[in-house]
Amino acid sequence: MKAKKYKKSSQHSNKIKIILVLLAIIAGSLIFFLKSKFVDVTHANTQNLSYVALGDSITLAPQPGITGFVYLYQGFINSDLGLTVNLTNLGINSLSSTQLLDKLKTDNNFIQNATNANFVSLIIGANDFWTPRLSYLSNNCGGADNQDCLRTMVTTYKSNFDQIMLQIRALNVNPVINLRVGDIYYYLIADDIKSGAVTVLNSYLGQMNDYIHQKASVYNYSVANVHTAFNGQSGLEDPEAKGYIFTDKIHPTNAGHQVIANEFRNTGYSYTQELLPILLSPTLKTPYSVSSNPSATIRTTLKASNGYYYLLTANSSNIQTTATFTFTFKVPTPVDKMFEGTQATASGVIITDSFAPLAVHIYKFPTGADADLDTFPDSLETYLGTNPNSSCSTVSHTDAFPPDVNADGAVTIPGDILPIARAVGKNSSQSDWATYKRYDLDGNGAITLQDVLIASKFFGPGFCP
């Protein structure tokens, strides 16, 4: 009996010693942690992609009993892509292109939402057309032909439109954006046909819509053909007669909003079935640096999925540039440029490529031994059952970071380090090994003081933002 009691006391004493050693280690590790330069790995919240709707009252849809096209389009995104996107409707009554541009430059709500949006829809221009149309009809437009105000309007609209597109691209941090622009339907067309003004007025509206279509390839967006849907191929059909707008001859009915939503859906999605899983995979933000023309801004996001890195890049500026990406590790080759059928120049730790204005490139190359760059090899993470493509459990919603054994987003004494310490002595020959295998951070088939030391090294938030 005494021998057994002594043995139990000895085991208890060993546990106490381990804990005392552990506390000393943590004190030293905390100092080390504050001074260390860990690779800064953070993750996009894959559960909350965002859709921002920009525009005037057509976007806002303030009329009672009306379901605006943006809500219908949100539903299409969710059902077509199997997502749940959060919608922010920033439509404003009577908003012009000049006012929208100002909002994107000075309004923090617009700036913040445009910065983080994955999906953006835009319809703007109806109010730009409104005032000069009235001036023309009242013979107050100026010039020998009474069209000066219309010419000025088109010039201003084109300039504003360019600046709006550039501002969205400059603000947005996502290299790939699902940006969709609706062209402008001709409201009050029946009245203008009766007055004989339709030929002149339609020519200026046509210039606005032509510009929207011409610039699609420049700014990497697709156009929703709202004008044709409402006014027909001739551009002279009355949308009120089709039931698409109210008797105010301006705002869409529910049927009209459904038509607009359908046209946005018909543009397809920038996030293809091949690209979407990559978008939803964990994001590693700073295992590389970027250099380019000082006047250019290169947006980047690094993803890890199924044994490959995907470096999503975009030139958000309106100038040609060459970009150099310098990694903290040797870049495995080849480096494919997805959807382009070519390969990027890669040597050692560097990828170099040229970017046209607003160009997007997506590079694909093998991950190597540690996809999520959390210092734990993929083979060890597979053995432990942790996610080799993520280093933060609370964002990827998986058991991600080996030392964070309770998956709460931080390595703590009670939640992670003490459970490992209490398991010291367990090994793979024991029947309950499956319960303790998760604590085997060095993968040697036994829980030892070394596993405690490994966990202690990452005391704190680890790789979570």
pLDDT at position 371, please? Answer: 84
**Residue 96 and residue 200 in one domain:** yes
Is residue 207 in a domain? yes
Q: How confident is the model at residue 276 (pLDDT cuts 50, 70, 90)?
A: confident
Q: Kindly tell me if the per-residue pLDDT of 21 is higher than 70.
A: no
Q: Kindly tell me if the per-residue pLDDT of 33 is higher than 50.
A: no
| pLDDT, average across residues 87-95 | 98
pLDDT at position 397, please? Answer: 85
Q: What is the domain-level CATH number for residue 340?
A: 2.60.40
pLDDT at position 37, please? Answer: 34
**Residue 176 and residue 71 in one domain:** yes
- 255-265 per-position pLDDT tens digit: 999 999 999 99
**Residue 204 and residue 293 in one domain:** no
| pLDDT, average across residues 392-399 | 85
**Residue 250 and residue 335 in one domain:** no
Q: Kindly tell me if the per-residue pLDDT of 75 is higher than 70.
A: yes
**Residue 86 and residue 28 in one domain:** no
Is residue 118 in a domain? yes
Q: What is the domain-level CATH number for residue 59?
A: 3.40.50.1110
| Domain's final residue, options 366, 381, 416 | 366
pTM value?
Answer: 0.79
| pLDDT, average across residues 172-180 | 92
| Domain's final residue, options 313, 338, 366 | 366
Is residue 136 in a domain? yes
Q: Kindly tell me if the per-residue pLDDT of 381 is higher than 50.
A: yes
The total number of structural domains in the chain stands at 3
- 188-239 per-position pLDDT tens digit: 999 999 999 999 999 999 999 999 999 999 999 999 999 999 999 999 999 9
**Residue 427 and residue 361 in one domain:** no
Which of the pair, 301 or 96, is modelled with greater confidence? 96
Is residue 295 in a domain? yes
**Residue 62 and residue 23 in one domain:** no
**Residue 260 and residue 123 in one domain:** yes
| pLDDT, average across residues 117-131 | 97
SS (H, E, C) the chain: CHHHHHHHHHHHHHHHHHHHHHHHHHHHHHHHHHHCCCCCCCCCCCCCEEEEEEECHHHHCCCCCCCCHHHHHHHHHHHHHCCCEEEEECCCCCCCHHHHHHHHHHCHHHHHHHHHCCEEEEECCHHHHHHHHHHHHCCCCCCCCCCHHHHHHHHHHHHHHHHHHHHHHHHCCCCCCEEEEECCCCCCHHHHHHHCCHHHHHHHHHHHHHHHHHCHHHHCCEEECHHHHHHCCCCCCCCCCCCCECCCCCCECHHHHHHHHHHHHHCCCCCCCCCHHHHCCCEECCCEEEECCCCCCEEEEEEEECCEEEEEEEECCCCCEEEEEEECCCCCCCCEECCCCEECEEECCEEEEEECCCCEEEEEEECCCCCCCCCCCHHHHHHHCCCCCCCCHHHHCCCCCCCCCCCCCCECHHHHHHHHHHCCCCECCCCCHHHHHHHCCCCCCECCHHHHHHHHHCCECCCCC
Q: Kindly tell me if the per-residue pLDDT of 393 is higher than 70.
A: yes
pLDDT at position 20, please? Answer: 53
Is residue 239 in a domain? yes
| Domain's final residue, options 233, 266, 299 | 266
CB 268 within 8 A of CB 207: no
Is residue 276 in a domain? no
Q: Kindly tell me if the per-residue pLDDT of 85 is higher than 70.
A: yes
C-alpha closest to that of 69 among 61, 57, 79: 61
**Residue 114 and residue 206 in one domain:** yes
Q: Kindly tell me if the per-residue pLDDT of 386 is higher than 60.
A: yes
Sign of torsion over alpha carbons 7, 9, 14, 18: positive
**Residue 29 and residue 61 in one domain:** no
Q: Kindly tell me if the per-residue pLDDT of 2 is higher than 90.
A: no
The range of the structural domain enclosing residue 108 comes to 49-266
Is residue 93 in a domain? yes
| pLDDT, average across residues 30-56 | 56
Q: How confident is the model at residue 272 (pLDDT cuts 50, 70, 90)?
A: confident
Among 10-14, 175-179, 373-377, name the one with the lowest average pLDDT.
10-14
**Residue 34 and residue 77 in one domain:** no
pLDDT at position 423, please? Answer: 94
Q: Kindly tell me if the per-residue pLDDT of 122 is higher than 60.
A: yes
Tokens 């700036």: give the residue. 111
**Per-chain mean pLDDT for the chain:** 89
| pLDDT, average across residues 90-103 | 98
Q: Kindly tell me if the per-residue pLDDT of 175 is higher than 60.
A: yes
Q: Kindly tell me if the per-residue pLDDT of 25 is higher than 80.
A: no
pLDDT at position 38, please? Answer: 33
Q: How confident is the model at residue 15 (pLDDT cuts 50, 70, 90)?
A: low
CB 352 within 8 A of CB 345: yes
**Residue 194 and residue 232 in one domain:** yes
pLDDT at position 44, please? Answer: 36
C-alpha closest to that of 358 among 132, 167, 116, 185: 167
Phi first, then psi: what are they for 257, rounded to 5°? -65, -35
Is residue 274 in a domain? no
